[in-house]
Amino acid sequence: MSRIWNFSAGPAALPEVVLQQAKEELLDWRGIGAGIMEVNHRGRHFIEVIKETEADLRELLAIPEHYRTLFLQGGATLQFSAIPLNLLVEGRSADYLITGAWSKKAFTEAARLPLTGKIHLAANTEDKPAPAFTRLPEPENIVLDEKAAYLHLCGNETIDGVEIHDDAWLDGVLSSDVPIIADMSSNILSRPLDVARYGLIYAGAQKNIGPSGLTIVIIREDLCEGATGNAPAPISYRIQAENGSMLNTPATFAIYLAGLVFRWLKEQGGLARMAEINRAKAAKLYAAIDGSFYRNHVAPPCRSNMNVPFNLPTPELEAEFVRESEAAGFMGLIGHKSVGGIRASIYNAMPTEGVEALILFMADFMRRRG
């Protein structure tokens, strides 16, 4: 069976070599006579896996010693509630930047919780009519609350294709004592990251880390230890850290697969090398879009290297593009249901050859239908 080019936004493609290793080890991991998903999560075999996985993640991201790494469940969406319940105390506020659909969801979820502090909208780049989100806010248009306990943002908007490329983007806006909380579900591990600029980073696994079912939280120790008692135990950072991410049974197979992905990333040359590859892939695809009858609406400095949404002249042509692409061996190119259009997600596991194949298909489709 030949594999298709998988441009799905998440769950997304995994490196084929990782899937092959998981296949080989499915029934017998390292000669123990059982697969890793079958063993006790508190036994020595899985403890070995989770320790190796954490060590490789810390090496890849150069995570400072005073940060804790948690392997949780519930997806990034659960963190929309977990963050304010853990970090927002009475008399304080929480600032939110809305730059796309996912940061809007994070703000909306936090605002509906019965919290002792308040949720404050610091900036919103939503424009109407669609496309709604096409840029990042100008620093002078970000209004921060002087009582803010943290500032929440989304590093890469998976649906809208807006990305913050520079960790130092907010340096001129924030005071040094306001922790930045970043949803990096769709761009984590795509480039080197200055973890020390952030108070907390979280990411659902199903884009650049591994399969769905696992959520990574990287949190500064003082925030972890000072977490409020308002969060239920399964989403309490302090309690989960005290229990080594095993207050309850963790997503063992997802953690194992994430570990295989981390090792694969190290073998590729690490995140600096992945950043070079990802920038080159994205540049090729945007070049194919610009100057053609395809349209990407995001301001060029804010264009995502991971998720490339674009439109054709009519919805009818977009539907035909999806049908023909599937027949030609491509998958996952239909845009998110909330915005329509086309979206190509080109995460780490998408090789350059896949992007080049898509570009050739796009050129042929335009020649025939443009």
Query: Which residues are marked as active site?
Result: 102, 183, 207
Q: Which of 316, 324, 314 is nearest to 365 (CA)?
A: 324
* Distance of alpha carbon 213 from alpha carbon 274, whole angstroms: 24
* Distance of alpha carbon 147 from alpha carbon 98, whole angstroms: 19
- Residues of 16-39 as b/e, b for ≥16 C-beta within 10 angstroms? eebeeebeebeeebeeeeebbbeb
* Distance of alpha carbon 330 from alpha carbon 116, whole angstroms: 49
HSE-up of 197 (CA within 13 Å, CB side)? 16
Residues 6+ apart with CB under 8 A from 351: none
H-helix or E-strand spanning residue 278: helix 270-289
Structure tokens at 247: 């207050």
